[in-house]
Amino acid sequence: MFSTLRNIFKVPDLRRRVLFTLAMLAVFRIGSYIPVPNVNARLFDPTQNAFLGILNTFSGGALQNFSIFAMSITPYITASIIVQLLAMDVIPKFAEWSKEGEHGRRKLAQVTRYLTVVLGLIQAVGFALSFDRMIPGLIIDKGFATIAMIAITLTAGTAFLMWLGEQITEKGIGNGISLIIFAGIIARVAPGINQIYNAWFYTHPERLFLNLVYVALLLVGILIVIVGVIYVQQGVRRIPVQYAKRMVGPRMYGGQTTHIPLKVNAAGVIPVIFATSLLIFPSTVASWFQPKPWANWIVANLGPRSWMYVLLEVLLIIGFTYFYTAVQINPQQLADQMRKNSGYIPGVRPGKPTEQFITRVMNRITLAGALFLAAVSVLPYLFSNVTTLNLYFGGTSLLIVVSVALETMKQLESQLLQRHYKGFIR
């Protein structure tokens, strides 16, 4: 591993990309400590609220500091969900752009940026008004100008993070948005360890042996989840493809055997991020209108510890896994390409039967990947109910961290192999 890390810095272009990514993540972490003007952040403790605790984890503690990055990248994720859903033949123009290749994707990305600013401004105003009502004295010298300045500052912070993520994607390594979330979650590991120490060892020093057993079980559970995530993320179902021999002039082409690699979890960690962001939104909006009865009902019944929240998250993760897999893999296109190149799956007729076969296999393996994602995401809520700890670094966070780390490793691997260096995977 150390020789591989040395190889990374031997390649000038790759070294520049790695250093650029680290510099951008450092900017994100520095911004997490720059407070919003006219806010007394010392009065604010998001860990007492389940939804705010999740937001605080994704923002890397920026919400707890009420910094310029307090909303993190969640408005962008929500905007991406809305635009992708609208592009599924809901708005014909969006559907047309989605089929135009790189040019169409740029147009959809521009719409996503504008929608991010609109959603960010709405969420920022809600944050300022609801938090001031819940915590008297949080906003200093409150008035229209102060609320407007706080909302604009928070929205600008989200827009800057969106730009930062795009720069990492273009000039750095991997998916910039995922790396920002990854950095935020990693930053909350140390506070999580401190919380466990205070709750188990500092408060109950007489239960030292029992506390050590709890820690050992927790570490074993984390290890099992990490191994499971790696196993599922690397899992591939290979569909064999045979190409017929054909004469082109005096030469004969084809005749070779290859395969179509269908990943068990082709959607990666995107469904978990989408589901979590979508479930946070209604409770956040309802908190603006508390203590009205309907708002109290939504906050109480859609809290992360409620059975309704867990059920909705499981269903959303499964749904988004199928949705995002369908966006990435088109069985009809695969079948048409094989038919045009005289390829076929042994035992399956070309054309429509091939498309149906690929769809059937894809649906079956996607179900396994979706159920695994849902099971891992439920773990932190079970852990919180058993231990009564408000610890939000759990299954979802661990899943995101491991998945993003694997994806980043693959990016570095491909760059190294192109230059004839050995990578991480032997």
Quote the pLDDT of residue 28.
Answer: 92
Q: Which two tokens stand for residue 420?
A: 């004839």
Q: For the segment 362-393, what is each residue's pLDDT rounded down to a tens digit?
A: 999 999 889 988 888 877 666 666 665 655 55
Domain boundary among 163, 187, 211: 187
Specify the CATH number for the domain of residue 286.
1.10.3370.10
* d(C-alpha 424, C-alpha 346), whole Å: 35
In the numeric block, the tokens 């169409």 are attached to 104
Same domain, 20 and 166: yes
Same domain, 169 and 301: no
The pLDDT mean for the chain works out to 81
Cβ(88)–Cβ(124) under 8 Å? no
Same domain, 252 and 138: no
Same domain, 183 and 312: no
Same domain, 152 and 251: no
Same domain, 370 and 277: yes
The more confident residue out of 208 and 170 is: 170
Same domain, 20 and 163: yes
Query: Residue 135 above 80 pLDDT?
Result: no
Q: How far is CA 49 from the centre of its chain?
A: 21
Same domain, 361 and 245: yes
Kindly indicate the confidence band of residue 230, based on its pLDDT and cuts at 50, 70 and 90: confident
Domain boundary among 122, 153, 187: 187
Asked if residue 252 is part of any domain, the answer here is: yes
Q: Which two tokens stand for residue 279?
A: 């479930």
Q: For the segment 249-284, what is each residue's pLDDT rounded down to a tens digit?
A: 566 555 677 888 888 888 877 888 778 777 777 776
Same domain, 44 and 155: yes
H or E segment and range at residue 61:
none
Asked if residue 155 is part of any domain, the answer here is: yes
Asked if residue 200 is part of any domain, the answer here is: no
Residue numbers of the domain that contains 379: 235-392
Asked if residue 143 is part of any domain, the answer here is: yes
Query: Residue 14 above 70 pLDDT?
Result: yes
Asked if residue 364 is part of any domain, the answer here is: yes
Cut 0.85: pTM above it: no
Asked if residue 5 is part of any domain, the answer here is: yes
Of 44-48, 133-137, 267-271, 348-352, the poorest mean pLDDT is in 44-48
Same domain, 168 and 242: no
Asked if residue 415 is part of any domain, the answer here is: no
Mean pLDDT over residues 77-101, rounded? 80
Cβ(139)–Cβ(66) under 8 Å? no
**Distances, alpha carbon 392 to alpha carbons 51, 195, 316, 397, in Å:** 10, 11, 19, 8
Residues 6+ apart with CB under 8 A from 160: 31, 68, 69
The secondary structure of 308-350 as a DSSP string is: HHHHHHHHHHHHHHHHHHHHH--HHHHHHHHHHTTEE-TTS-T
Asked if residue 371 is part of any domain, the answer here is: yes
Mean pLDDT over residues 274-298, rounded? 76
Mean pLDDT over residues 178-190, rounded? 85
Same domain, 382 and 261: yes
Relative orientation angle of helices 395-418 and 2-10, to the nearest 10 degrees: 60
- How many domains does one find in the chain? 2
Kindly indicate the confidence band of residue 304, based on its pLDDT and cuts at 50, 70 and 90: low
Same domain, 388 and 267: yes
